[in-house]
Structure 1
Amino acid sequence: MAYIEKRTTKKGTSYRVQIRMKGHPPENASFDRLTDAKRWAAETEAAIRQGKHFGIARRRTFTELADKYQAAIADHLKSADARVSHLAYWRDEFDGYTLEDVTSPLIADKYAKLHKDGERTPATANRYLATLSACFTYAVKDLGWIERNPCARVKKVKESAGRVRYLTDDERTRLIEACKESRNPLLYPAFILALSTGARQAELMNLRWNQVDFTRSTIVLRDGETKNGAGRVLPLTGEAFDLLRDLNKVRDIKDDRVFPVPAETRGFGSMRNAWDKALERAKVDDFRWHDLRHTAASYLTMAGVGSMEVAKVLGHKTLQMTARYSHLSPERTVELGDVLTKRLGLTSKKNTAASR
């Protein structure tokens, strides 16, 4: 028996056909037109009864799926460029394979090669697997080519806790002076803003003046303008406020970016050379621009700001990313313990005597 379900989304209307016949595996397919859906349902049911149907998974290749998925994400997914390179790897590995051939054990074997050869970190290998999983999810939910995602049974390798490199007080002092002395007039304001807000490099380089609210002392990152797609508000205070206010007075009327740098170097533009020279003058080693984000998070944590609030400032969707800084504030942990014991009436005798 065939069932046709009408689906309406932002992308338009589609029709998903489900065929379930006793003694045969279920078949699914999606179509843009109802007439095509009805025709496919009738032809497939007839083929199943005659023993001539071999299933979509046997007829469709992985390359076909990868091509359709890549086209689907090209215009609306911020990570599309990275996923294209991931898909290129999987196309090579599964060249000539039908979807039925791409099983969980096969994926696990190919996935193991990604991180065992030493060329890619476990975290990178997991990104490759995530792209493949998203591709198969598209085959299940949008195309109806397969029933289950074979990646669901592939166990991911454990990733490291992540790098936490932040500026010491001496390094911060030296680097502030080095950036201030730079010939690039945009380096120092960008540096101070990154240090003050914990914003990502791409968020700053794509920042527009209409996102800066001097009245409320905030910067608004709208949905779709951040790495995870969720908007948030950045504080604009202290010297960062003064520097942006001064930049606003002499802004380029032909370019509404706050930092209108030529993009000969992807993402960071012409500021890359000035940044490298500032690090060299300040004698700050093993430090990247992204570590300014770690620095902001570390300073907030050491000041006793809670993980939830730090996550909100940085734009982390989960506390797992923020947890890497938790070891930086043992004093705050003790303070919270004191609050709890006082509330419970379990204050130590030593502290009680001292308070008298």
Structure 2
Amino acid sequence: MEISGDRESVVPPWFPAGQSEASLASRNITKRVVDQLKTTGAEYFVWDGSLSGFGVRVRATGSKSFIVKYRAGVGRKAPTRRVTLANVGKVTPDQARAMARRIIGDVAHGGDPASERSRKRREATIREVAARYVAEYVRTHNKPSWATEVELLLKIHILPAFGATRIGDITRADVSRWHAGMSATPYGANRCLAVLRKMLSLAHMEWELRPDNPAIGVRLFPERRRERFFSGQELRAIGEWIAQAEREGAELAHFILATRLLLLTGMRFGEVAALKWSDIELSEGTIRLRDAKAGARVVALNTQAVAFLANARHADGCFVCGPGVGDIPLTKGSYHAFWRRLLRGSGVTNARPHDARHTVATLGAMAGGTAFTLRDLLGHKTVAMTSAYVARTVDPIRVLSEAVGNKVAAALTPSRESADVVPLKRARVRS
């Protein structure tokens, strides 16, 4: 078994002490040998001791694949080709060795499998590559909410523009023109570019469908951060509309509960939609989010949020507001429709559901929240879920949460004199 890097023979640090490369030259590639191959921080190759050209490629990332190497022609001046047979784990070493023998036999009869594969790969369309991207990467590596958005961006923006284009034909100029054509919506254009760039990165680095990534170097549009939070008057208007909607019927109860949780806790919509009763400890006044955007965290519930949750119906299933609750499922689309209805009824304009989170951040800053407590209140950073940490942080966060809850509840309750809150002053807090 021979070990080599791209340009020169190397002995990786995982070799047994004192064991030379020459002493391993007669060993064959087996499952045990492959399992022992470790990441060294640089790409290297391990060649079989009995079948010339058959080997394992270990990337700097640690991924492993079976390969076969040969010369396309006669003599030492003939170009060297490498063909990836399969990823380690997809086939056994013996199966990969049999595949390598077939390719070596083809080469002996004048074939050039690497060039033929390269030609076929370049003929694959962006639509075909996108299907592989979704199946092999998006649905296994991305969170469900982002996976859904990726598939939507592919369907609406990327495939209509490039679906029929061959993967080997798309250029940086093509990508740049396409991105520039969406300048009216810079945020959306940048998200589309990010999806295309990731897909082309996989096509280049992992699948070897093209020699480069043409989306690299395309400049993003500047994005102006939108700072919007609800004033006391707007919160009162929202509270009045919610009260009226509750009197008219219960079919929107889970939408209303979701809205109150957004306003009282600053949780993200996806966190509220995925919230289960098993995540909530009303006696402790906490929610334990195990799969939040920024990592697992504890949400300290204020008194108002606890009261609304305690009064909510538990018989609709395991979710608080999400799947199986109510006649109309709570999804991103259905909630935006509800939100538009809320805005029309309350008279509040130019507002998004995420602005509830900005409002909580602003009120928290006004109530004396520090950068540390606001970070934990909003879940901006992954927090280690240890009992000692919870005991240390939940109490001060709850104090801050109570202050926010009191202000929001006062504004949402039109009948109370305390609803006449002081207008909010701008407080720059990232949410």
Settle same-fold status: TM greater than 0.5: yes
Match of 2:367 in 1: 303
Once the two structures are TM-superposed, the CA of residue 135 in structure 1 deviates from its matched residue by 1.3
Instruction: Letter of the 1:215 partner, please give it.
Output: S
Match of 1:58 in 2: 119
Match of 2:56 in 1: 4
Q: In 1, are the aligned partners of 2:297 and 2:379 still within 8 Å (CA)?
A: yes
Q: In 1, are the aligned partners of 2:204 and 2:213 still within 8 Å (CA)?
A: yes
Distance of 1:302 and 1:198 partners within structure 2: 15
Q: TM-score, normalised by structure 2?
A: 0.59
Once the two structures are TM-superposed, the CA of residue 45 in structure 1 deviates from its matched residue by 10
Deviation string for 1:119-165 (max 9, x for gaps)? xx11111111111122123334543444543322322222222x222
Can you give the 5+ residue segments of structure 2 that lack an aligned partner in the other structure? Answer: 1-52, 72-76, 383-424
Once the two structures are TM-superposed, the CA of residue 46 in structure 1 deviates from its matched residue by 6.7
Count of residues in correspondence between the two structures: 307
Matching of residue 237 in structure 1 with residue 295 in structure 2: no
Instruction: Letter of the 1:81 partner, please give it.
Output: T
Structure having the higher Rg? 2
Match of 1:132 in 2: 196
Match of 2:154 in 1: 87
Match of 2:20 in 1: none
Q: 1:255 aligns with which of 295, 317, 322?
A: 317
Q: Identity rate of aligned residues, in percent?
A: 24
Distance of 1:243 and 1:159 partners within structure 2: 37
Distance of 1:258 and 1:265 partners within structure 2: 10
Distance of 2:211 and 2:373 partners within structure 1: 41
Bigger mean CA offset, 208-217 vs 92-101:
92-101
Q: TM-score, normalised by structure 1?
A: 0.70
Once the two structures are TM-superposed, the CA of residue 240 in structure 1 deviates from its matched residue by 0.8
Deviation string for 1:27-83 (max 9, x for gaps)? 563612245644565627975995844264432113332221121246443222222
Cα distance change on mapping 1:269 and 1:103 into 2, 3 Å: closer
1:1-356 matched pairs, under 5 angstroms: 3-5=55-57, 15-17=65-67, 19=69, 24=79, 27=82, 29=84, 31=86, 32-34=90-92, 37-38=96-97, 43=103, 47=107, 52=112, 53-54=114-115, 56-60=117-121, 61=124, 62-73=126-137, 75-76=139-140, 77=142, 78=144, 79-88=146-155, 89-113=157-181, 115-116=182-183, 118=184, 121-146=185-210, 148-161=212-225, 163-183=226-246, 184=250, 185-186=253-254, 188-223=256-291, 226=292, 228=293, 230-247=295-312, 250-252=313-315, 254-259=316-321, 260-263=325-328, 266-267=331-332, 269=334, 273=338, 276=340, 278-316=342-380, 328-329=426-427
Distance of 2:238 and 2:97 partners within structure 1: 68
Distance of 1:159 and 1:55 partners within structure 2: 44
Cα distance change on mapping 1:269 and 1:95 into 2, 3 Å: closer
Distance of 1:222 and 1:192 partners within structure 2: 21
Q: In 2, are the aligned partners of 1:179 and 1:187 still within 8 Å (CA)?
A: no
Instruction: Letter of the 1:87 partner, please give it.
Output: L
Distance of 1:16 and 1:291 partners within structure 2: 51
Cα distance change on mapping 1:305 and 1:155 into 2, 3 Å: same
Q: In 1, are the aligned partners of 2:294 and 2:379 still within 8 Å (CA)?
A: no
The SS at the match of 1:29 is strand
